[in-house]
Amino acid sequence: MNTLFPIFVKLDQLQTLIVGGGYVGLEKLTAVLANSPAAPVTLVAPEIRAEIRELAAAHPGVTLVQVRYDDTYLTDKDLVIVGTNDKAVNRQVQADCKARKILVNVADTPPLCDFYLSSVVKKGDLKIAISTNGKSPTFAKRFREVLEEMLPDSLQETLDNLTAIRQQLTGDFQAKMDRLNEITKVLK
Ligand SMILES: C[C@@]1(CC(=O)O)C2=NC(=C\c3[nH]c(c(CCC(=O)O)c3CC(=O)O)Cc3[nH]c(c(CC(=O)O)c3CCC(=O)O)/C=C3\N/C(=C\2)[C@@H](CCC(=O)O)[C@]3(C)CC(=O)O)/[C@H]1CCC(=O)O
Ligand SMILES: NC(=O)c1ccc[n+]([C@@H]2O[C@H](COP(=O)([O-])OP(=O)(O)OC[C@H]3O[C@@H](n4cnc5c(N)ncnc54)[C@H](O)[C@@H]3O)[C@@H](O)[C@H]2O)c1
């Protein structure tokens, strides 16, 4: 049973720390910025890949700190993603986060994660997050590609129309709900 509870997090209102500046750091920073381009993110690592520097140059919310991790970088952080090539460092960051009740993702080490990243399908305002419960990230990626292909670009127009209708509807809560359910029946 997949007991993970999906939520959509406002990363542009939170402080995120990424520890590690290699391929994993790049992958996770890319995932964060693809969804929340203005998110304040600090990335700390003694070596930082050139692609990460390019991303940081294009995203003013990103701060790069070229030093080894120490726990002072957890001050005022809400969310941490760690993926260094030193397992002892990864474990230490996880323990430091637990002590401070900060949610942490240890990339590639599911038992140490408080949350997983998901594959994300985007069509305008519609966003679908895919989890395989950690069973196969590759399946999640492929399924994202299938859904991206399947969903029409016109979906945004549908959402915009529904927003307009939603704002114009009068009556009590139940009446509005009934009307919106009636209008969207065609989707079933
Ligand atoms: C969805 C996505 C989001 C993202 O990272 O942004 C994501 N992994 C992605 C890709 C990917 N990751 C890996 C491969 C190589 C092929 C393969 O192993 O399948 C590929 C494929 C590729 O890159 O093509 C390696 C890998 N990943 C994990 C392990 C450890 C293990 O399984 O034990 C290992 C083995 C490491 C090793 O061998 O040492 C673990 C996790 N990876 C997760 C998320 C979480 C579960 C998500 C779920 O429930 O499915 C979880 C549990 C934790 C986490 O990292 O958050 C992103 C696709 C984005 C997209 O394109 O849509
Ligand atoms: N790259 C992948 O797709 C992938 C896939 C599966 C598993 N992994 C595993 O994930 C780990 C990281 O992979 P990678 O490809 O990003 O490695 P990498 O060698 O490209 O980068 C490692 C990063 O960790 C940083 N680092 C090391 N010690 C640190 C410290 N004390 N504080 C802060 N940062 C520190 C380094 O400076 C570097 O930026 C490895 O153990 C690897 O085996 C990677």
The ipTM is 0.94
C-alpha separations of 1 from 115, 127, 131 in Å: 16, 23, 12
Expressed in angstroms and rounded, the spacing between residue 85 Cα and the centre of ligand 2 is 3
CATH architecture, domain 118-151: 2-Layer Sandwich (3.30)
Expressed in angstroms and rounded, the spacing between residue 137 Cα and the centre of ligand 1 is 4
C-alpha separations of 170 from 161, 165, 173, 175, 185 in Å: 16, 10, 9, 8, 20
pLDDT band for position 170 (50/70/90)? confident
Q: What does the alpha-carbon distance between residue 186 and residue 150 come to, in Å, rounded to a whole number?
A: 17
Nearest ligand 1 atom to alpha carbon 116: 56
- Whether the predicted pLDDT of 84 surpasses 90: yes
Please work out whether the CB of residue 46 comes within 6 Å of at least one atom of ligand 1: no
C-alpha separations of 84 from 43, 47, 97, 130 in Å: 11, 10, 15, 25
For 84, the 3-state DSSP assignment is coil
- Whether the predicted pLDDT of 145 surpasses 90: yes
Please work out whether the CB of residue 81 comes within 6 Å of at least one atom of ligand 1: no
Residue nearest to atom 26 of ligand 1 (CA): 108
Token couple for 88? 């002892």
So where are the chain's domains? 11-117, 118-151, 152-187
Within 6 Å (CB) of ligand 2, which residues are found?
Answer: 19-25, 44-47, 68-69, 83-86, 89, 108
- Per-residue pLDDT of 26-41, as tens digits, reads 999 999 999 999 999 9
Q: What does the alpha-carbon distance between residue 50 and residue 86 come to, in Å, rounded to a whole number?
A: 20
Token couple for 140? 């999640």
pLDDT band for position 186 (50/70/90)? confident
Please work out whether the CB of residue 131 comes within 6 Å of at least one atom of ligand 1: yes
Q: What is the pLDDT of residue 118?
A: 97
106 forms beta bridges with 82
Q: State pTM to two decimals.
A: 0.95
Token couple for 134? 């950690």
- Whether the predicted pLDDT of 171 surpasses 90: no
pLDDT band for position 179 (50/70/90)? confident
CA 163 vs. chain centroid, Å, equals 25
Residue nearest to atom 44 of ligand 2 (CA): 24
pLDDT band for position 187 (50/70/90)? confident
Closest ligand to the CA of 109: 1
Q: What percentage of residues in the chain have a pLDDT greater than 70?
A: 100
Q: What does the alpha-carbon distance between residue 145 and residue 141 come to, in Å, rounded to a whole number?
A: 6
Element (H or E) spanning 16, and its range? Answer: strand 16-19
Q: What percentage of residues in the chain have a pLDDT greater than 90?
A: 84
C-alpha separations of 125 from 49, 155, 160, 169 in Å: 32, 9, 9, 21
Expressed in angstroms and rounded, the spacing between residue 108 Cα and the centre of ligand 1 is 7
Check residues 185 and 17 and name the one with the higher pLDDT: 17
Q: Taking the domain 11-117, which CATH number applies?
A: 3.40.50.720
Expressed in angstroms and rounded, the spacing between residue 62 Cα and the centre of ligand 2 is 19
- Whether the predicted pLDDT of 183 surpasses 90: no
For 130, the 3-state DSSP assignment is strand
Nearest ligand 2 atom to alpha carbon 69: 32
